[in-house]
């Protein structure tokens, strides 16, 4: 099978999945079923200002930043703001988002094992509700450390990041009241704690035919340096008006599955349709975010070269299991807490608030779909498309005609021209292979998108029309 056919098969397979998206399975999700949940008890807790756990004063020093233990360690400050904003939802309109620093997920913290994290949560005056921050990378008394921060105030706590890995952080609600709403409307993020002596080299299983004509094992090794990604999974439970629907949450009745805050946020868009010679026609059937007018919310693809070590930080921020699989690939290694959990596995399961680091090498040029291999999740948004190498002849020809192909050829991936989406890339660490460029992409406010651009990320909705206009003169 040639590579072009391979691509077409992949796209048609996804087209079949997409066909169901706006069909019966989707509409049945929208209606929801009433549940006998005792909402009044939750309302009472909320009215009380949350559950107040009474603890002896001896425990009240949790997260103290004046500890002698912190001398001679690197202190990393991590300021966050807890703020409610409206953000766009799949299919049009907005939803009532709750955010850390106007983005879903919140900013990623990256430290080295042994560093001190100094976390400050500010809640602006006028914010409708208090917020808190529970960081799973810490080992401190939850009370009072993760307690509610009132509007117009801020709170700081410190801890040593002792254990390497990926960790959820999330709003703790109003002393745990309404925590579900705050988290599932967007108040979550990750902390990456790099191992103090670095990431291990990666072994990939291969075979070869040796000089005697025998098939033999040919294990291939890649250094610990890697091209890195971050993917965070979450369910959205929304009313038609875009507010939080607790009944749907208790029923596990998912409306959308978001990856980094956005259902179907990493699929082709209008730009790829254009470059692929299909202006005005979708090359991927489910393209709900494909207009350049959507700016930072237009969907973007993930581009990687073949034969390169990729390291993916994955966190299940949601309410359902994540059966992480990449269609067309095998996960070469799965690590948690710097201990290898599996190697050469097709799929790895993450429960709620569970994480992993997936290491893999994309073997041949083509199109690959990272999914939560739960069909309800795939059809509600958990499909993330990687394009490995330069497998799309039409795009190659168009890019050549526009005079922009050299950047792609040099990097072995289309990110050499289009960049990779800013929000899919964690902050760089010592063993990060830097992406050739980033594009502005996030489920975030215009201010956050502008900050990405100020850091050098490309606004494709500006750059691509300019390139096309210049080429046509």
Q: How far is the CB of 130 from Cu ion (least distance, A)?
A: 7
**Do the strands 226-236 and 309-316 form a parallel or antiparallel pair, or are they unpaired?**
parallel
For position 171 contacting Cu ion by CB under 5 A, the verdict is yes
Closest CA to 106 of 83, 127, 129: 83
Among 110, 182, 248, 333, which residue sits at the site for Cu ion (rule: CB under 5 A)?
182
- Nearer CB in complex with Cu ion: 158/177: 177
- The residue count of the chain comes to 473
Q: How far is the CB of 66 from Cu ion (least distance, A)?
A: 27
Q: How far is the CB of 257 from Cu ion (least distance, A)?
A: 21
Region 434-453 residues binding Cu ion, contact defined as CB under 5 A: none
Burial of 137 from C-beta contacts in 10 A (0-12 / 13-18 / 19+): buried
- Nearer CB in complex with Cu ion: 7/121: 121
Q: How far is the CB of 169 from Cu ion (least distance, A)?
A: 12
- Nearer CB in complex with Cu ion: 83/399: 83
Which tokens is 49 given? 């200002």
Q: Which stretch binds Cu ion (CB under 5 A): 5-13, 123-131, 159-167, 370-378?
A: 123-131
Q: Which residues in 32-68 are b (16+ Cβ under 10 Å) and which e? A: beeeeeeeeebeebbeeebeeeeeeeeeeebbeeeee
Q: Which stretch binds Cu ion (CB under 5 A): 186-194, 207-215, 397-405, 449-457?
A: 186-194
d(CA 18, CA 181): 29
Q: How far is the CB of 60 from Cu ion (least distance, A)?
A: 22
Closest CA to 232 of 318, 134, 340, 348: 318
Q: How far is the CB of 171 from Cu ion (least distance, A)?
A: 3
What are residue 358's phi and psi, to 5 degrees?
-100, 125
For position 187 contacting Cu ion by CB under 5 A, the verdict is yes
- Nearer CB in complex with Cu ion: 112/133: 133
- Nearer CB in complex with Cu ion: 175/298: 175
Q: How far is the CB of 182 from Cu ion (least distance, A)?
A: 3
**What single string gives the DSSP state of each residue in 401-463?**
HHT-HHHHHHHTSTHHHH-EEGGGSPPP-TTEEPPS-EE---EE-HHHHHHHHHTT-B-HHHH
Among 110, 131, 168, 441, which residue sits at the site for Cu ion (rule: CB under 5 A)?
131
- Nearer CB in complex with Cu ion: 187/415: 187
Q: What's the alpha-carbon Rg for the chain, to the nearest Å?
A: 23
d(CA 367, CA 391): 8
Region 341-360 residues binding Cu ion, contact defined as CB under 5 A: none
For position 89 contacting Cu ion by CB under 5 A, the verdict is no
Question: How many residues sit close enough to Cu ion to count as binding (CB under 5 A)?
Answer: 4
Q: How far is the CB of 131 from Cu ion (least distance, A)?
A: 3
Helix axis angle, 393-402 to 460-471, nearest 10°: 70
- Give SS3 for 389: coil
- Nearer CB in complex with Cu ion: 155/182: 182
For position 222 contacting Cu ion by CB under 5 A, the verdict is no
For position 155 contacting Cu ion by CB under 5 A, the verdict is no
d(CA 155, CA 239): 33
- Nearer CB in complex with Cu ion: 236/378: 236
What are residue 250's phi and psi, to 5 degrees?
-65, -30
- Nearer CB in complex with Cu ion: 131/222: 131
Helix axis angle, 24-31 to 3-21, nearest 10°: 40
Interface residues with Cu ion (CB under 5 A) are 131, 171, 182, 187
């Amino acid at each position: 099978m040639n590579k072009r056919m391979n691509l077409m098969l992949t796209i048609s397979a996804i087209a079949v999945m997409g066909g169901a998206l706006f069909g019966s399975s989707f509409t049945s999700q929208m209606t929801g079923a009433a549940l006998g949940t005792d909402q009044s008890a939750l309302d009472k807790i909320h009215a009380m200002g949350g559950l107040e756990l009474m603890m002896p004063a001896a425990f009240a020093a949790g997260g103290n930043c004046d500890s002698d233990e912190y001398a001679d360690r690197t202190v990393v400050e991590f300021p966050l703001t807890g703020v409610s904003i409206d953000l766009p939802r799949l299919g049009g309109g907005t939803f009532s988002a709750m955010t850390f620093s106007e983005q879903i997920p919140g900013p990623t913290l990256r430290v080295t094992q042994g560093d001190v994290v100094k976390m400050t949560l500010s809640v602006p005056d006028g914010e409708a509700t208090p917020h808190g921050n529970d960081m799973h990378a810490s080992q401190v008394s939850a009370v009072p450390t993760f307690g509610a921060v009132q509007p117009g105030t801020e709170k700081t706590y410190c801890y040593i990041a002792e254990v390497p890995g990926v960790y959820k952080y999330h709003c703790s609600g109003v002393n745990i009241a309404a925590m579900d709403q705050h988290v599932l409307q967007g108040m979550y993020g990750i902390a990456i704690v790099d191992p103090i002596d670095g990431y291990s080299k990666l072994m990939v299983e291969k075979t070869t035919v040796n000089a005697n004509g025998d098939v033999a094992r040919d294990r291939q090794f890649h250094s610990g340096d890697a091209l890195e990604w971050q993917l965070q999974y979450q369910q959205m439970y929304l009313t038609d008006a875009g507010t939080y629907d607790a009944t749907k949450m208790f029923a596990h009745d998912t409306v959308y599955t978001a990856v980094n805050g956005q259902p179907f946020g990493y699929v082709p868009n209008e730009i790829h349709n254009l470059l692929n010679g299909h202006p005005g026609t979708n090359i991927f059937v489910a393209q709900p975010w494909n207009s350049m007018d959507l700016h930072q919310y237009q969907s973007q693809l993930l581009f990687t070269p073949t034969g390169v070590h990729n390291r993916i930080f994955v966190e299940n921020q949601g309410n359902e299991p994540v059966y992480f699989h990449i269609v067309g690939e095998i996960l070469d290694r799965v690590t948690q807490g710097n201990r290898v959990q599996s190697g050469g596995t097709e799929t790895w399961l993450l429960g709620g608030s569970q994480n992993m680091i997936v290491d893999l090498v994309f073997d041949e040029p083509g199109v690959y779909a990272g999914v939560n291999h739960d069909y309800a999740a795939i059809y509600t948004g958990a499909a993330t498309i990687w394009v490995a190498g330069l497998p799309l002849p039409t795009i190659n020809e168009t890019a050549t005609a526009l005079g922009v192909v050299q950047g792609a050829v040099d990097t072995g991936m289309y990110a050499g021209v289009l960049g990779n989406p800013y929000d899919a890339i964690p902050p760089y660490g010592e063993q990060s292979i830097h992406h050739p460029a980033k594009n502005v992409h996030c489920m975030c406010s215009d201010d956050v998108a502008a900050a990405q651009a100020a850091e050098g990320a490309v606004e494709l909705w500006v750059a691509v029309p300019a390139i096309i206009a210049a080429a046509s003169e």
